[in-house]
């Protein structure tokens, strides 16, 4: 028995190392596929119910993408999955079904390639995935954070600023073509060069309307200073507030990356009336993976809207090693960007995740009537105590703030 346990531990260690190396989970694309392959169907169904929830009391419905989209995914080797969130039938309102897409991807060329070649290659790589979204009838499509470039914000090297572009720059023009072709709203997260304000840099999401027009933009509210994420070398906190963009398909907002760790950031988009909030991100397994399935799903529940969470994939190796200021040796990469993009709904249901290591397109139909239905059911907006929250926040912001702590008068009394 001891010998057997020793072998299992040894094999387990090998599997863990292999998983870390190729980005898989013990050879599987995602947790859901691992469970599906290793559990009996009845047990898997119950585990899925607990992990993914139920949509209107039923397991989430799977959609078969059109053959043309499947052919593109096969030819260009990207994951494609599609699901449908329902809402209860209403007597006074028709269903408000919108089809939404998320794209996750790795970089197209090594970080050592000439910058111009990297930009051309990422356009070429994304084109068939966007075409698959268009062929699938996607109404709103969101790309990952800073999709046009390596996520170089760990390096603190200024040369990566060359990837910055104005809000009407190269990537916006590239995506406007698809917006017009497919009558699709597209969210374009870029490193923005603000030419009207001294070429200041921002981490920005451009909202492109379904007619190819620019509706507006949102700049990242929260900048991380944790681990390798030294992003304030390049840009600081955004100045656009919490805008919600009213499109022909619904009211949408963008909570960029690190903002997902701040519950009040999610709340503010909800207070402004968002029905779908996108969270384009770039985050690595060692830092945040246990948080990933929780935070956005909790935001969807607490704020009665849908959330689309996107994370890039792959390990990006940079030419010059860097340090994090945490005592660890210098290293040339962030770690593995674990993908796992998914949708969350206000009724606590969510989709399975895309691959942990492969490019992918996730599609979901969502009936936006579900947002109001869950507001009516739980009454979070009615039962919240905003006046109390406003009071504590106002007092907290003052230099002479004192926490409301009531000590036990016998706390420091010595026992006899």
pLDDT digits (tens, 9 = 90+) for 312-353: 999 999 999 998 877 889 999 989 999 999 999 999 999 999
Catalytic residue check, 220: yes
Instruction: Examine residue 154 and state whether it is found in any structural domain, yes or no.
Output: yes
Q: Are strands 276-281 and 250-254 parallel, antiparallel or unpaired?
A: parallel
Residue 47 lies in a domain: no
CA–CA separation, 374 vs 347, rounded Å? 7
Q: Which CATH number covers residue 243? A: 3.60.110.10
Q: What tens digit of pLDDT does each residue of 120-138 get?
A: 999 999 999 999 999 999 9
In a domain, 26, yes or no: no
Q: Which of these, 228, 169, 189, lies nearest to 104 by C-alpha position?
A: 189
Cα distances (Å, whole numbers) of residue 163 to 64, 148, 256? 37, 8, 18
Structural domain includes residue 158? yes
Q: Shortest CA distance to 147 belongs to which of 278, 319, 300?
A: 278
Q: What is the pLDDT of residue 1?
A: 38
pLDDT tens per residue, range 344-361:
999 999 999 999 999 999
Locate 263 and state its tokens.
């519950």
pLDDT bucket at 20, cuts 50 / 70 / 90: low
Domain count, the chain: 1
Q: Identify whether 255 is part of a domain.
A: yes
Given the residues 119, 142, 145, 275, select the one marked as catalytic.
145
Residue with tokens 């619904």: 250
User: CA 5, 11, 16: angle at the middle one, nearest 5?
Assistant: 125
37, part of any domain? no
Q: What is the span of the domain harbouring residue 218?
A: 58-382
Closest CA to 265 of 231, 247, 238, 288: 238
* 413 noted as active-site residue: no
* Active-site choice (125, 154, 251, 257): 257
Known catalytic membership, residue 142: no
Cα separation, 29 vs 26, in Å, equals 9
Residue 240 neighbours by CB distance under 10 Å: 15
Q: What is the pLDDT of residue 208?
A: 98
Q: Which of 220, 231, 316, 371 is catalytic?
A: 220
Q: Which two tokens stand for residue 254?
A: 């963008």
> Which ranges of 136-261 would DSSP assign to H, the alpha helix?
170-182
Whether pLDDT at 308 is above 60: yes
Confirm whether 1 is domain-assigned.
no
Question: Does any domain span residue 13?
Answer: no
**What tokens appear for 221 in the block?**
């509210």
């Amino acid at each position: 028995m001891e010998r057997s346990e020793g072998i299992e531990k040894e094999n387990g260690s090998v599997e863990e190392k292999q998983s870390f190396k190729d980005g898989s989970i013990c050879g599987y694309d995602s947790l859901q596929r691992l469970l599906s392959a290793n559990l009996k169907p009845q047990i898997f169904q119950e585990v899925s119910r607990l992990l993914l929830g139920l949509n209107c009391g039923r397991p989430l419905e799977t959609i078969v993408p059109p053959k043309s989209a499947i052919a593109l995914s096969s030819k260009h080797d990207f994951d494609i999955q599609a699901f449908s969130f329902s809402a209860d039938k209403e007597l006074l309102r028709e269903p408000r079904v919108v089809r939404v897409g998320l794209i996750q991807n790795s970089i197209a060329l090594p970080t050592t390639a000439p910058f111009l070649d990297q930009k051309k290659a990422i356009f070429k790589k994304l084109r068939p995935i966007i075409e698959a979204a268009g062929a699938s009838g996607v109404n709103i499509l969101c790309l990952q954070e800073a999709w046009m470039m390596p996520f170089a914000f760990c390096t603190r090297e200024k040369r990566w600023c060359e990837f910055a572009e104005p809000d009407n720059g190269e990537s916006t023009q590239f995506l406007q073509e698809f917006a017009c072709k497919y009558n699709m709203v597209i969210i374009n997260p870029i490193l923005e060069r603000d030419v009207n304000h001294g070429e200041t840099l921002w981490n920005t999401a451009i909202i492109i309307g379904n007619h190819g027009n620019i509706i507006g933009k949102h700049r990242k509210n929260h900048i991380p200073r944790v681990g390798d994420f030294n992003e304030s070398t390049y840009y600081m906190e955004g100045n656009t507030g919490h805008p919600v963009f009213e499109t022909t398909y619904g009211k949408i907002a963008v909570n960029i990356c690190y903002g997902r760790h701040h519950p009040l950031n999610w709340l503010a988009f909800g207070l402004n009336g968002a029905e779908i909030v996108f969270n384009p991100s770039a985050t690595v397994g060692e830092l945040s993976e246990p948080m990933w399935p929780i935070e956005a799903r909790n935001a969807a529940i607490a704020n009665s809207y849908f959330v689309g969470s996107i994370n890039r994939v792959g390990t990006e190796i940079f030419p010059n090693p860097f340090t994090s200021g945490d005592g660890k040796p210098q290293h040339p990469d962030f770690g593995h960007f674990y993908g796992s993009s998914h949708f969350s709904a206000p009724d606590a249901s969510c989709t399975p995740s895309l691959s942990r290591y492969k490019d992918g397109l996730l599609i979901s139909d969502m009936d936006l009537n579900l947002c109001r239905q869950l507001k009516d059911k739980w009454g979070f907006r009615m039962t919240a105590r905003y006046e109390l929250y406003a009071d504590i926040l106002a007092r907290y912001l003052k230099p002479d703030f004192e926490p409301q702590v009531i000590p036990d008068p016998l706390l420091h009394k010595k026992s006899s």
